[in-house]
Amino acid sequence: MQLGFIGLGRMGGNMARRLTAAGHSVVAWDRNPDAVRSATDTKGIAGAASVDDLVKQLQKPRAIWIMVPAGAPTEEAITALASRLSAGDVVIDGGNTHFHDDVRRAKTLAAKGIEYVDVGTSGGVWGARRGYCLMIGGSPNVVERLTPLFKSLAPGRSRGAGDEDPNLPASASTAPDGYLHCGPPGAGHFVKMIHNGIEYGLMQSYAEGFDILRNADSPSLPADQRYTFDLADIAEVWRHGSVVSSWLLDLAALALREDPQLEGFEGTVGDSGEGRWTVAAAIAEDVPADVLTTALFTRFRSRRDHTFAEKLLSALRAQFGGHAEPR
């Protein structure tokens, strides 16, 4: 297939290259001309000088994948395309967009006969080699039309997650291949939003567990109950046969092997929005989400040396018990 591609950053550039490796042709544009020049070194990727040039190089019905930061950059790209595309063309948003925006954009584009597909994309910088997990929202006929693209980007069953269910017929679902049509516009990004909320919780669990292991030799413990652990080796042994094995654990093992004391990090943890949206969805649905909410708030905590709340806690302890702050 031929695909237009807007956004050649850490994920977008790799995705474009993975598509051309599978035999598709890509016409790519990015605000950064150097990114376009770098991408066109790959056979099968043609560069575009502007959005107008990108649209002109594509055959109708066109399909254009947007892989830029959520919010204003995505909104600007879709607005630019809306005035240049024709009925039957498709706009695909593969970034981390809030599903409310997907629903609104799909309605706006539908008035012009332009289709809208949202694709929650997971795989990070490793996706070029491992493939990308794709969670898709859109009308069934359009998703079907784009399936060759999704199939090429996804890992495929040969790189599935462990033992497949022997009772699942091979043709029952595309899920074991790593891509899934989840529902109408917005459904793909809704599933990706929850995926990222769960990711926060998993990451926090690993972080806390390894912190306990690291402090197992604390002088405050009895001498015969102190242990000095090789955290990289523990992460590695858990990767083999353990029920807590995962790709995140694989990455933890890699990070600890490269930098055992994690001296290259300060511990300030960012969030790109999906954790907040997940908590908001839980509130809207009256669903308790204790772990996911705590994991999100812990990231907020990491960005401060000490919070006012912690200062008040110390002040209260001093007031009622005369407790001095530890130094």
SS3 labels along 143-166? HHHHHHHHHHHCCCHHHCCCCCCC
> Burial, 145: exposed, middle or buried (Cβ in 10 Å; 0-12, 13-18, 19+)?
middle
Q: CA–CA separation, 298 vs 305, rounded Å?
A: 13
Q: How far apart are CA 264 and CA 2, in angstroms?
A: 42
Closest of 187, 193, 203, 181 to residue 282, by C-alpha:
193
Distant-in-sequence, close-in-space partners of 50: CB < 8 Å, separation ≥ 6: 29
Residue with tokens 């948003």: 93
Tell me, what DSSP letter sits at residue 306?
Answer: S
Residue type at 218 in one-letter notation: S
How far is it, in rounded angstroms, from Cα 88 to Cα 114?
Answer: 5
**Known catalytic residues?**
192, 199
3-state secondary structure of 29: strand
